[in-house]
Amino acid sequence: YEIYLNGLAGLRPPYPTDVAGLEQAARRHLAPEPYGYVAGSAGTGATERANREAFDRWRIVPRMLREVSVRDLSTELFGRTYPAPVALAPIGVQSIVHPHGELATARAAASLGVPAVLSTASSHTLEEVAEAGGPRWYQLYWPHDDEVTLSLLDRAAKSGYDTLVVTLDTWTLAWRPTDLDHAYLPFLRGTGLAIPLSDPVFRSRLERPVEEDLNAAILRWAPMFHGRSHTWDRLSLLRDNWDGPIVLKGVQHVDDALRAADAGMDGVVVSNHGGRQVDGAMASLDALPAVAAAVGERLTVLFDSGIRTGADVLKALALGARAVLLGRPYVWGLAVGGEEGVRHVVRSLLADLDLTLGLAGHRTPADLDPSALEAR
Ligand code: FNR
């Protein structure tokens, strides 16, 4: 009602409340290259479209005359209670859309109590971002230098990041035509490297200080962080050196989810990176039910890729996710309004989720199961 009451005083919401309108507003704010970087996906965009089409194949079946006037969105993840089953996905190089980048995102998330997952490809150091307070999760792009890896984990733990999200699906960048046509890769300009470039162990690998020779530092960073995959047997390095929960992001196959459980992981994010990696890959939502059925008792199953509305969140929860990660939509909010814009997007999503949950006849996320939906 906040928005309608403001309307009585002649005020309109400062930013569009639907994601498509917000994306259009962001596009007007941004140069084609950064807009294309965020909006773009791999190849023909088939997987990005599939992500959305999969949501459309499920329909909510509302139930009536239930006591749902007061809802409770609070959700327990890894032994900690959060206000809602929503976190902000790790998104790198946020300063390409707003100078405050990850700082603004972290402040908005902290003000709402939702976790913001900080990317290793951040434009600000993890120590700076930690000052925003709030729940802190750290996403690792896993370097091929164990001492650098351990240094990043150590810094994250010391700065109060309690949950580690290890992204598996982006050990090298996919074929992304928009960025290729623009010949645009933020990292090669030094953007998104604040965490490695500030790392004492990484710096000790350089012949000359970063400040004197940025290009040499970038050339050192590239093969350390990109171009080679790790293997399952190496997960023990992370398990042995991280006390908190570890979540593997980018899981689509049931067997990979089972291996994650066997490797002592605490969770998985069913994700295809928003369709930015394997063009032609299955929709992330289509991967969710089988993964949840296989490991839901052993692991916390999170989901992303395609979440745009409260109904989308409801569908993912009903199909087995404990919580979802919000991706591109909050970046559009960041582009148009910095911290305030991110807060607007997250508050809008949570209000939409709360209304949709209640109108569909459910009081809490835990009340949802596949019977809340019908497959078209
Ligand atoms: C991402 N994503 C991502 N994931 C990750 O683990 N580390 C990262 O640094 C990034 N960076 C990144 C940048 C941009 C511009 C985008 C759009 C995405 C993937 C992200 O965490 C998430 O999986 C997707 O955004 C989910 O898809 P949707 O909902 O945005 O379509």
- What is the interface pTM, i.e. ipTM, of the complex? 1.00
Chunked mean pLDDT (size 10), the chain, 376 residues: 95 96 98 98 98 98 98 98 98 98 98 98 98 97 98 98 98 98 96 98 98 97 96 98 98 98 98 98 98 98 98 98 98 98 98 98 98 96
Residue 310 confidence (pLDDT): 98
Residue 75 confidence (pLDDT): 98
Nearest to 51 by CA among 241, 252, 340: 252
Measured torsion, CA atoms of residues 48, 118, 329, 249, in degrees rounded to the nearest 10: 30
DSSP 298-309: TSEEEE-SS--S
Residue 269 confidence (pLDDT): 98
**Residue 273 appears among annotated catalytic residues:** yes
For ligand 1, residues with CB inside 6 Å are 37-38, 89-92, 119, 121, 139, 167, 249, 271, 273-274, 276, 304-307, 327-328
The enclosing H or E element of 248 equals strand 246-251
Q: How close is the Cα of 183 to the center of ligand 1, in Å?
A: 20
CA 28 to chain centre: 24
Q: What's the CA gap between 366 and 349, in Å, rounded?
A: 18
Residue 213 confidence (pLDDT): 97
CA angle, 87 then 272 then 138, to 5°? 40
**Does the pTM of the predicted model rise above 0.95?**
yes
Q: How close is the Cα of 209 to the center of ligand 1, in Å?
A: 31
- Asked if 322 contacts 353 with a C-beta cutoff of 8 angstroms, the reply is no
Specify the residue with its C-alpha closest to ligand 1, atom 3. 91
Q: What's the CA gap between 39 and 331, in Å, rounded?
A: 10
Which of 98, 100, 124, 273 is catalytic? The answer is 273
Q: How close is the Cα of 276 to the center of ligand 1, in Å?
A: 8
